[in-house]
Amino acid sequence: MPSPNKHQTLLAFDFGLKQMGVAFGQTLTCTAKGLRILKSTNGIPNWDQVEKLLTEWQPDVILVGLPLNMNSSESELSRLARKFARRLHGRFNIEVLMVDERLTSQDVKASLREAGEGGRVDLTKIDHLAAALILQSWLDDPSLGQTP
């Protein structure tokens, strides 16, 4: 949870089996920005790349998108995202919270199409923007965060 008296920085991950989007945000201005996409194999990233991001951005909190079904039930992908979140916490000893990510990728695609960029942007390469949307939703309402 953000402390009202302390500026916090955050990284967010849009979990995926083949790639993960990463975004940075902070509580001072309550803004989020997509950073990059990391390749993953069966939901496992290159941990050295993750460590470099954590060293560079020094987050106080890490958010991981929780892919829920539309009826709020969990799936195998939800289980794997929670496992990834627990590994992040275990490896780096940083607070990790899960945030419901339903429809974030679709929202980003729709926004790009509305902006007239749908034809120029590879819509399979937007996971960092989805991560920014996950982070922004948490900045707007920190009660959305839950432990893995």
Task: Give 41-102 as a DSSP string.
Answer: ETTEE-HHHHHHHHHHH--SEEEEEE---TTS---HHHHHHHHHHHHHHHHH--EEEEEE-T
If you average pLDDT over residues 63-86, what whole number do you get? Answer: 91
Tokens read off for 72: 């709020």
Number of neighbouring beta carbons within 10 Å of residue 120: 7
Q: Indicate the domain borders of the chain.
A: 9-144
Which CATH code for domain 9-144? 3.30.420.140
Which DSSP category does 128 fall into? Answer: H
pTM: 0.85
User: What is the per-residue pLDDT across 2-61, written as a single tens digit (0 to 9) for each?
Assistant: 454 578 999 999 999 999 999 999 999 999 999 999 999 999 999 999 999 999 999 999
- CA 109 to CA 123: how far, in whole Å? 7
